[in-house]
Amino acid sequence: MLRIINIGRLVGIVPEGVLRKQGAEMAQTGVLEDAWLEIEDGRIKGFGEMRFPDSALRAPLEMTNHSGQTDDMVDAEGGMVMPAFCDSHTHIVYAGSRAGEFLDKIEGLSYEEIAARGGGILNSADLLHETSEEGLFRQAMERVGEMVRQGTGAIEIKSGYGLNPADELKMLRVIRRIKETSPALIRPTFLGAHAVGRGYTHEAYVQAIVDMMPDTAALADFVDVFCDEGFFTPEDTDRILTAAARYGLRPKIHANELAVSGGVQAGVRHQALSVDHLERTTEAEIEALKGTGTMPTMLPGTSFFLGLPYGRAKDFIHAGLGVALASDYNPGSAPSGDMRFVMALGCIQMRLTPVEAFNACTLNSAYAMGVSDVTGSITPGKRADFILTRPGWTLTNLPYLHHSPFIRQVFLQGLPQ
């Protein structure tokens, strides 16, 4: 049993059974001031107001007056407690760096131009091919550690720098090992369709992805396709998703980053859990998403790094839809997994309110990776994955004071990290 007392604000309280927020609900979250939180066996047991301590709390409350903090009790000293961030879109298993392309970008080359010169995703595939599984695991765990320290508790991780059967499986085994090792909740996605692998024609590679499905499905929960100009078409996407469905892989799609691609509609046709990027969106995409279980997911860190338009999150919300935000952490278009910065970009660049951006980075991002029944909010029974902030912090100050250190301690499954 762990008790957190004297919490200035306990935020992100959501009733059991609410798995996502949509439309006007995006602007709401449950807040309790001057609160306590109780954790048992790694899960949230209960919470309440300090002026009404429940019977279980009475003894320790008296104890604090005499002896201060104990092993099973933490005095929040007026700090905020909020659910840990959920990051539903990352590519953190990669080898080395693409700092050279960063310099090319500064000189004026676009993401597409770098890719066309054989850089980009294929560059990462070459580096990954040369790196041992152990080396890949170690590099990726560094990134996971960094993300956890920045307050993230659940991470979706994609393959997609293998681009041939052996190397895609190598990536998925590394993701499995991260899942077994890390205190964070990890969900693996097979993204064979990230770029056409070296040595394949386009058509032969799409067939190779279909053929990889039985082996990769054993290691992945989701399937993803980069359905965009110069990469994979909606027809390729249909073919790959149809094959994936036979093995129970639900889609999460990369769409509309470089052009309006038809990827959103392809995702909706196949009951995708999420459609991601959406830097370029027309009314047709918003219409296609209405009434579906698909979560539109925007990646403002990519817009920031590549100088792309920001997703039209407000228009989605006004249309009654939910929106999730994720980092897209990868070496080419978003080399950061800092979800607090993602939240800040959501407010500063996309004009989301702090509560909307917070819901997008927690419950809705958990939904977009199929884990909002177990994490992403302060709800009894969920994993005790939360951030305890320094004293005095509010949700508004997270994006406002966007680089001031705010974390006192991250707890995952009730354990301090």
Which residues are near ligand NIG by CB under 6 A? 91, 120-121, 124, 226, 254, 257, 302, 328, 330-333
Helices 120-130 and 165-181: crossing angle, nearest 10°? 80
124 touches which of Fe ion, ligand NIG, none (CB within 5 to 8 A by kind)? ligand NIG
Task: Specify whether the CB–CB gap between 277 and 255 falls below 8 A.
Answer: yes
Using CB distances below 5 to 8 A depending on partner kind, what does residue 288 bind out of Fe ion, ligand NIG, none?
none
Q: How near is the Cβ of 239 to Fe ion at its closest, in Å? A: 21
Least separation in angstroms between CB 330 and Fe ion? 6
262 contact, one of Fe ion, ligand NIG, none, CB 5-8 Å limit per kind: none
Q: Which is nearer to Fe ion, 236 or 328 (CB)?
A: 328
The SS3 call for residue 208 is helix
Q: Which two tokens stand for residue 356?
A: 């909307």
Question: Residue 119's binding partner, choosing from Fe ion, ligand NIG, none, with beta-carbon cut-off 5 to 8 A by kind?
Answer: none
Q: Which is nearer to ligand NIG, 302 or 377 (CB)?
A: 302
Binding segment toward Fe ion, per CB under 5 A, in 30-38, 99-107, 321-329, 335-343: 321-329
- Nearest distance in Å: CB 409, Fe ion: 30
Closest approach of Cβ 180 to Fe ion, in Å? Answer: 24
Please, which residue, 177 or 254, has the CB nearer to ligand NIG?
254
C-alpha 57/C-alpha 369 separation (Å) is 35
Residue closer to ligand NIG (CB basis): 124 or 237: 124
In terms of CB distance, is 35 or 244 closer to Fe ion? 244
Interacting partner of 274 out of Fe ion, ligand NIG, none (Cβ under 5 to 8 A depending on kind): none
Sign of the alpha-carbon dihedral angle for 73, 79, 82, 86: negative
Residue 91 or 408: which CB sits closer to ligand NIG?
Answer: 91
| Residue 62 phi, psi (nearest 5) | -65, -40
Determine contact, residues 389/407, Cβ cutoff 8 Å.
yes
Choose between 157 and 371: whose C-beta lies nearer to Fe ion: 157
Q: With contacts defined by CB under 5 A, how many residues of the chain interact with Fe ion?
A: 1
Give min distance, CB of 87 to Fe ion, in A.
Answer: 11
Residues whose CB is less than 8 angstroms from the CB of residue 13 and which lie 6 or more positions away in sequence, other chains included: 29, 30, 31, 32, 47, 377, 378, 379
Minimum CB distance to ligand NIG smaller for 120 or for 296: 120
Closest approach, Cβ 363 to ligand NIG, in A, equals 22
| Cβ distance to ligand NIG smaller for residue 251 or 331 | 331
- CB contact at 8 A, 303 and 332: no
In the range 225-244, which residues lie near Fe ion by CB under 5 A? none
Residues 327-386 touching Fe ion, rule: CB under 5 A, are 328
Stretch that binds Fe ion, among 38-46, 206-214, 322-330, 395-403 (CB under 5 A): 322-330
Out of ligand NIG, Fe ion, none, what residue 377 binds, judged by CB under 5 to 8 A for its kind, is none
Q: Which does 356 bind (CB under 5 to 8 A by kind): ligand NIG, Fe ion, none?
A: none
Phi-psi region of 218 (alpha: psi -120 to 50; beta: other; left: phi over 0): alpha
Nearest-CB residue for Fe ion: 328
Helix-helix angle 202-217:165-181, to 10 degrees: 40
Return left, alpha or beta for 399; rule: phi > 0 is left, psi -120 to 50 is alpha, else beta. Answer: alpha
Alpha-helical (H) ranges within 131-226 are 133-149, 165-181, 202-217
| 3-class DSSP state of 167 | helix
CA distance 166 to 192: 11
CA 396 to chain centre: 21
Contact segment (CB under 5 A) with Fe ion among 179-187, 240-248, 283-291, 326-334 equals 326-334
Which segments of 159-289 are extended strands (E)? 185-193, 222-227, 250-255, 274-277
Residues 43 and 51: their CA atoms lie apart, in Å, by: 23
Binding site for Fe ion (CB under 5 A): 328
